[in-house]
Amino acid sequence: MEKQVVVVTGASAGLGRAIAVEFGKHGAQVVLLARGQAGLDAAVREVQAAGGHAIGIPTDVADPDAVEAAATAAEDRFGEIDIWINNAMVSVFSPVNHMKPEEYRRVTEVTYLGVVHGTLAALKRMLPRDRGKIVQVGSALAYRSIPLQSAYCAAKHAIVGFTDSLRCELIHDESCVSLTVVHMPALNTPQFSWVKSRLQHKAQPVPPIYEPEVGAKAVYWAAHHDRRELYVGGSTVEAILGNKVAPGLLDDYLGRTGYQSQQTSQSDDPDRPNNLWHPLDSERDHGMHGSFDNRAHGFSYQLWADLHRATLVLGACGCALGFALFGMRNGKSARRLSHRAVKLAHRVKVAARHSAA
């Protein structure tokens, strides 16, 4: 673990920062890519404090040349890249009829094409070595779109389509490079304070909300296990499976509740600064958490169960075997008791005849 070289995009704050720190706890050498220098510097210090080694490289993942240059710098510093995690994103909270074409383009370039650029840079280095792991940070919204985030939902859908296609090609080529998509629930990250928004009230993650460390542990696990997709949080499972079973009902439900569930009661200024085109307050560190700590869960029972499938299956099999043996034993005991009862009844009957005589 201590020799692993890991690249994390969007690593200056929020989930990306939590992922970088999680790898740092295991002694990895972590390369952090993001736009904001202050956030990168602070995240590097956190990774090092956790026990890892780290460097931060200011990078806009929408620029493929910048991503390629960052990959080269990463290997120049730490050696061959073992794991590449595509996490960077931007979004716009707005009804479709108020969106602008350039906003769709920008969200697509960062949230979707940023994944493509990162994947291409990783493949360029991993395929000749025939090893490596690429983890795409997905979302429940990659399968179940919601109102007011059309650009982001479309980009997350595209990530799944791109990754599935690439996975088939890797199988065809018998490559040992592997892919996993980790689908996230609503997370308590700073993005809701800097995202571009046209909503009347401040944006919020749709409850239930989880701390970014929950998602980071899932990404770390996925980077070291062969799982096609990993769902984080019961709400993610419900959204994805529910959309497969009854998409029309979810359309109606989200049409009635999706606006309110994504806004707090506090008013917001649509003209406030945002991070769509440039990092917001590049000299300020926004940290890992957003402003919803008092409502966020630090643990997911669903994720724990998903990561411990083998243990749960073995436990269930053990319980089933125990019940079966218990039933067999009780069955034998019941048959012995029945046999004894019959013999006793026969003796009583015989005794009664002798008494009558």
Q: Which residues have a catalytic role annotated?
A: 152
> What are 230's strand-pairing partners?
182
3-class SS letters over the chain: CCCCEEEEECCCCHHHHHHHHHHHHCCCEEEEEECCHHHHHHHHHHHHHHCCEEEEEECCCCCHHHHHHHHHHHHHHHCCCCEEEECCCCCEECCHHHCCHHHHHHHHHHHHHHHHHHHHHHHHHHHHHCCCEEEEEEEHHHCCCCCCCHHHHHHHHHHHHHHHHHHHHHHHCCCCCEEEEEEECEECCCHHHHCEECCCEEECCCCCEECHHHHHHHHHHHHCCCCCEEECCHHHHHHHHHHHHCHHHHHHHHHHHHHHHCEEEEECCCCCCCCCCCCCCCCCCCCCCCCCHHHEECCCHHHHHHHCHHHHHHHHHHHHHHHHHHHHHHHHHHHHHHHHHHHHHHHHHHHHHHHHC
